[in-house]
Amino acid sequence: MRIGIDLGGTKIAAIALDPQGNCLYQRRIPTPAGDYQATLEALSGLVQAIEEETGQSGSIGIGTPGSASPATGLIRNANSTCLNGKPLQEDIERLLQRPIRIANDADCFALSEATDGVAAGADSVFGVIIGTGTGAGIVIRGQLFIGANRIAGEWGHNPLPWPTPSELPGAPCYCGKRGCIETFLSGTGLCGQYYQTTGMQITGEDFADRLTAKETAAEEVMALYEDRLARSLASVINIIDPTMIVLGGGLSNLTRLYQNIPTLWSRYIFSDVVSTQLLPPAHGDSSGVRGAAWLWEVNEEHQRNREQI
């Protein structure tokens, strides 16, 4: 059995999968806001609940915001700020008395879709999160690519490609720079562009309703968003040239993206033909937690189970 946990800013999702990827148990609880110790206890409690309910012991993978520094092992760059500077993996392993695997939540999303999702069997996959923030993971021939600094896929903290004069210098980003892709393509960035266009402050749900109603301003803002997303993904294709790009996060539910973006990105891709496919996720909101469960390779999980017997 594989246990996956997706540690989000507002909720913690957990799942148990059998070796074929079938769900044995699933649960969500609120994240203890801003409380690191309570978060550790919540994670430990979820694992115990899963193993009691299923009567099995499982390998454990956790998807988190940010990533662990290769120098110190401490979490960095997490928007759940109580995690930053903390030895999350070490603390959880001490509580549970067993090894675990930890990866960035976008890495887990990409791994899920490349393992048994819409991109299963693809040679290379770029899994994108566009929602509250932006992030991505890279999977090559079924293996998660983390990189020398464990930041592979952090496309959201690069500058928006081919910016127009009106897009410069760009809005401030929490990372300390200006004009990052995230400031344009996150849900906050989309609503911010609507405010710049109309002077009205709205929520993401309001924007979706206005787009459905074919409001002129919403259509204008969405067309600009699509061009920015096309530019941003084109720069990824120019570097990685992935077989498939899978979109996740709240904004991935806008079905028009899958038709419009491939039409737009050919303007920016350095090729006479573009074979890369842009697809919605097979597992939707469950991709991140499923990917956390898949962090353990089959041989590693079997070895762990033998050690526990």
What are the average pLDDT values for consecutive 10-residue runs of the chain, which has 309 residues? 92 94 94 94 96 95 93 90 94 96 95 96 97 92 94 95 97 94 96 97 95 97 98 98 96 96 97 97 93 80 47
Q: What single string gives the DSSP state of each residue in the chain?
A: -EEEEEE-SSEEEEEEE-TTS-EEEEEEEE--TT-HHHHHHHHHHHHHHHHHHHS---EEEEEESSEE-TTT--EES-SSGGGTT--HHHHHHHHHTS--EEEEHHHHHHHHHHHHSTTTT-SEEEEEEESSSEEEEEEETTEEE--TTS-TT-GGGSBPSS--GGGSS--B-TTS-BSBHHHHHSHHHHHHHHHHHHS----HHHHHHHHHTT-HHHHHHHHHHHHHHHHHHHHHHHHT--SEEEEESGGGG-TTHHHHHHHHHTTTSSSS----EEE--SSGGGHHHHHHHTTS-HHHHHHHHHHH-
pLDDT score of 10: 84
CB contact at 8 A, 90 and 102: no
pLDDT at 112: 96
All structural domains of the chain = 2-105+297-308 (3.30.420.40), 118-281 (3.30.420.40)
pLDDT of res. 300: 58
- Burial label for 275, CB within 10 Å (0-12, 13-18, 19+), is exposed
282 close to 113: Cβ distance less than 8 angstroms = yes
Calpha distance 118→133 (Å, rounded): 22
Residue 27 phi/psi, 5-degree rounding, is: -155, 150
The reply to whether omega before 169 is within 30° of 0 (cis) is yes
pLDDT at 9: 82
> Which pLDDT score is estimated for 299?
45
Cβ neighbors of 288 (< 8 A, separation 6 or more) are: 6, 13, 63, 105, 108, 109, 112, 248
From edge to edge, which strands make up the β-sheet containing 134-140?
Answer: 143-145, 134-140, 124-130, 244-248, 277-279
